[in-house]
Structure 1
Amino acid sequence: MYMTKCVIFDFDGTISDSIQIFIKAYNLLAEKEGYNQVALEDLEDLKKMSIPERCRHLNFPMRSIPFAAPKLYRFVRESKADLPLFPGIKQMLDELNSRGIQVAIISSNASDIIEHCLKSNGVDYVHDILSSKYIFSKDKMIKKLLKQYNYGPSDVFYVGDEQRDIDACNKTGLRAVWASWGYDHESLISGETTKAAVPDDIVDFALKA
């Protein structure tokens, strides 16, 4: 029987509807670096691609991701854009907090951007925000959090919107909950692809709230 003590969330595409601002940031970078730009009408097709497939489609070398991320975050800071939360997210976070369940965030986004978003949306009780510039290292951040609080896999579950979130859960033994309103298309996590990572649960309430 599970006794949940903590819920870990991804940020972009799960908590924050940040896609528009990051498309603007990426397109400015793409124009300078010679990568293919992203049009809004391309989003549905891109959602159905894995990260390596997206990089090939955009002529964007995967090895450049750690170097490109700080440039994207700089644009977000300089634009002073307030990243919105998805509908229903604040109410859900408030409910978890009221029940005494710890809320944590593990993201590839910068911690100061996440903190600013939460604060501007009236969420001031998330103390654990772990950030990594390596997009496939969330399992290391999960292990760090589990060790810090002496949590076992049955104490925690993870909510994310991408295949790599589920992969991280599989590596750490956590239950994986997939947010259907995020960046990845359901085909990537439904078993339709050869090596699809399948979540334990799927939720789709936020956009209906």
Structure 2
Amino acid sequence: MGDSVTVQAVLFDLDGTLVDTVLDLGGACNMLRARRGLPPLPIDDYRPVAGRGSAGLLHVAFGMVAEDPAFPALCTEFLDIYATCLADHPCPFPGIPALIDTLRERGVPWGIVTNKPHRFAAPLLVSVPLAATAAVVIDGDSTANAKPHPAPLLEAARRLGIPPQACVYVGDEERDIVAARAASMQAVAVRYGYTADPAACDGWGAHGVVDTPSALQNCLLTWLTTVATQ
């Protein structure tokens, strides 16, 4: 990031960046397997694809691709199960609560921009106490286009009343970085999330790449300026 840029807000992707939700995503897949007489898979089998939505998760669970004629019905069943358990085990990644506390102490507004549909995002965020301090939440139903389109990020900046150029967006998938750059925001890629190939983050064009939430905090603190609490 250039030294002339003043960062006034920080926006985060949800799953795999701010909150670890793989226990419930994988758990829903395993419940679906159990209905078919199949044993559960290790939760870590789902972690590298958790950011790819139903298509990635069901491919691991059943070896099924989205083009399979049976996929839509299986996907609907999976989502219905997930809706019943999505608030069971979501947990901020270690170090994220401290990072959010630091942003709040400095008066820096923060927010969430996720492709997760409102049906799932809203109850999930209710179950994560730190989400109550977010200044803005944009979910998959807030704009006509989802990431990697820049529209959700631009809408977040608009609601905050802060120029996109003064925002940082943090995510664990390439689409997050593509969206941030298209929105003229500073982009930070994190390797600790659901990225299948952490080394690939270096090729996404992010302004920064970090391995841990503590490294993310150090990265952001070099860019942030204290602003008046909104």
Residue-by-residue CA offset, 1:174-193 (whole Å, 9 max, x unaligned) = 111011110002233233xx
Structure 1 gap ranges (5+): 192-196
TM-score by length of structure 2 reads 0.69
Opposite residue 11 of structure 1, the aligned amino acid is L
Change (3 A) 1:207 1:38: farther
1:60 aligns with 2:65: yes
The aligned residue for residue 102 of structure 1 is: 109
Cα deviation for residue 142 of structure 1 reads: 0.8
1:118 to 121, 125, 128: 128
1:155 aligns with 2:166: yes
Q: Map 1:110-189 onto structure 2 (within 5 A).
A: 110-119=120-129, 122=130, 124-132=132-140, 136=147, 139-184=150-195, 185-189=197-201
The count of aligned residue pairs is 198
Cα deviation for residue 108 of structure 1 reads: 2.6
| Structure label with greater radius of gyration | 2
Contact 1:156 1:175 in 2 (8 A): yes
TM-score by length of structure 1 reads 0.75
Change (3 A) 1:137 1:166: closer
Residue-by-residue CA offset, 1:120-154 (whole Å, 9 max, x unaligned) = xx553213111106764562211212233343232
Pick which of 102-111 and 49-58 moved more: 49-58
What secondary structure does 1:129 align onto?
Answer: strand
The aligned residue for residue 23 of structure 2 is: 20
Structure 2 gap ranges (5+): 218-230
Contact 1:15 1:86 in 2 (8 A): yes
- Identity over the aligned pairs, expressed in percent? 19
For 1:94 and 1:142, the matched residues in 2 are separated by: 22
Change (3 A) 1:75 1:165: same
Cα deviation for residue 14 of structure 1 reads: 0.9
1:3 to 3, 6, 12: 6
Opposite residue 99 of structure 1, the aligned amino acid is R
For 2:102 and 2:75, the matched residues in 1 are separated by: 35
For 2:200 and 2:181, the matched residues in 1 are separated by: 15
For 1:68 and 1:5, the matched residues in 2 are separated by: 42
1:200 aligns with 2:203: no
Change (3 A) 1:126 1:181: same
For 1:164 and 1:89, the matched residues in 2 are separated by: 21
Change (3 A) 1:161 1:107: same
Residue-by-residue CA offset, 1:83-126 (whole Å, 9 max, x unaligned) = 1111111010011011111110011333323422332xx55321
1:76 to 65, 71, 85: 85
Opposite residue 118 of structure 1, the aligned amino acid is V
For 1:15 and 1:81, the matched residues in 2 are separated by: 16
